[in-house]
Amino acid sequence: MTPTQPLFNRVAFIGIGLIGSSLARAIRKYHLADHIAISTRRAETLDTAKALNLGDSYSQDPAEAIVDADLVVICTPMGAFEAVAKAISPALKTGAIVTDVGSVKSTAVNDLLPHLPKDVHLVPGHPIAGTEHSGPESGYADLFPGHWCILTPTDDVDSAAVDKVKALWLACGAKVEIMTPDHHDRVLAITSHLPHLIAFTIVDTAAQLAEETQKEVIQFSASGFRDFTRIAASDPVMWRDVFLSNKGAVLDILGRFREDLDQLTTAIEDDDGELLEETFARTRAIRRGIIDEKQHIPDAKPGKKT
């Protein structure tokens, strides 16, 4: 539901790629802030943001962009979080809320919190919505409706700050869930990070096949492979940071996955049709559960959720 008054006077974005520009567009569309300040690293990205009229003021200097902001949204790859926190910390206004959209929440807490002043409220967030495209031109205001946004505030954070960030995401059409950073990272390791790793591996394996077979892989890609190529086209820097940030949870789940893959490999070797059929029947039931939860709805534009 759109609030009758803007939720914030001044919102500052650090990073204005797919997710930042989508949120900036949604804030503009639903008039959730009086002023949107935009900061990004490269002059050409800032020019694109200006040309798209995503904000009201623009700066390459994050510390300048966040002056007087009551909400700062960090939308860079996670590898930049610590440097961003250090750069903005001295200029943050007392009582400001800092949030982010990074895909690994323990990293958000570990890399941001130690560098922020005590009178600032950190409310980490992760919208589970996205596409394989990057940059300000690829965002759109209706990216979030129907998707979850997970918030992972620490126990001691001001509940009014959490409520404001929650209200922002609800106003953008997202559904909001609150959990601990570690729990978020374990859940996302299986629902998002492992599937991406599998897609990167399959597409890379196909790319290394003999030239003749490669041509046929592209020609007949409709049979399942195409979805993997879309996921494997995701931003390399972002995904490098996801795997390095969520190392523990990803390695745990990868161990479990390897055991299950070995079991299915053995079933094929041993002509154990019963085990194969039992496994596929279980996975079919999971898909039905996802449909019951209405989580199968395709994104407004073709894309992935991370």
Residues in the site for ligand NAP, rule: CB under 6 A?
15-20, 40-42, 45, 75-78, 80, 101-103, 126-127, 130, 134-135, 235, 238, 304, 306
Q: Which of 185, 219, 218 is nearest to 203 (CA)?
A: 218
Q: What's the min distance (Å) between Cβ of 107 and ligand NAP?
A: 9
Between 44 and 119, CB nearer to ligand NAP: 44
CB of 245 to ligand NAP, least distance (A): 9
Shorter beta-carbon distance to ligand NAP: residue 16 or 65: 16
Q: Which C-beta is closer to ligand NAP: that of 240 or that of 258? A: 240
Residue 305 is encoded by which pair of tokens?
Answer: 């959720």
| Rounded Cα–Cα distance for residues 243 and 258 (Å) | 17
30 or 81: CB nearest ligand NAP: 81
How far apart are CB 9 and ligand NAP at their closest, in Å?
23
Q: Least distance from C-beta 13 to ligand NAP, angstroms?
A: 8
CA–CA dist 175, 129 (Å, integer) = 11
Question: Closest distance between ligand NAP and the C-beta of residue 11, in Å?
Answer: 15
Tokens of 229: 């190529």
Q: In whole angstroms, how large is the CA radius of gyration of the chain? A: 21
Residue closer to ligand NAP, measured from CB, 112 or 120: 112
Taking CB atoms within 8 Å and a gap of at least 24, the contacts of 106-109 are 106/181, 106/182, 106/185, 106/245, 106/246, 107/78, 107/81, 107/241, 107/245, 107/246, 108/78, 108/81, 108/152, 108/181, 109/152, 109/154, 109/181
Quick one: 7 or 149, whose CB is closer to ligand NAP? 149
Tokens of 144: 């979030």
Which residue, judged by CB position, is nearest to ligand NAP in the bound state? 17
Smallest separation (angstroms) from ligand NAP to the CB of 131: 6
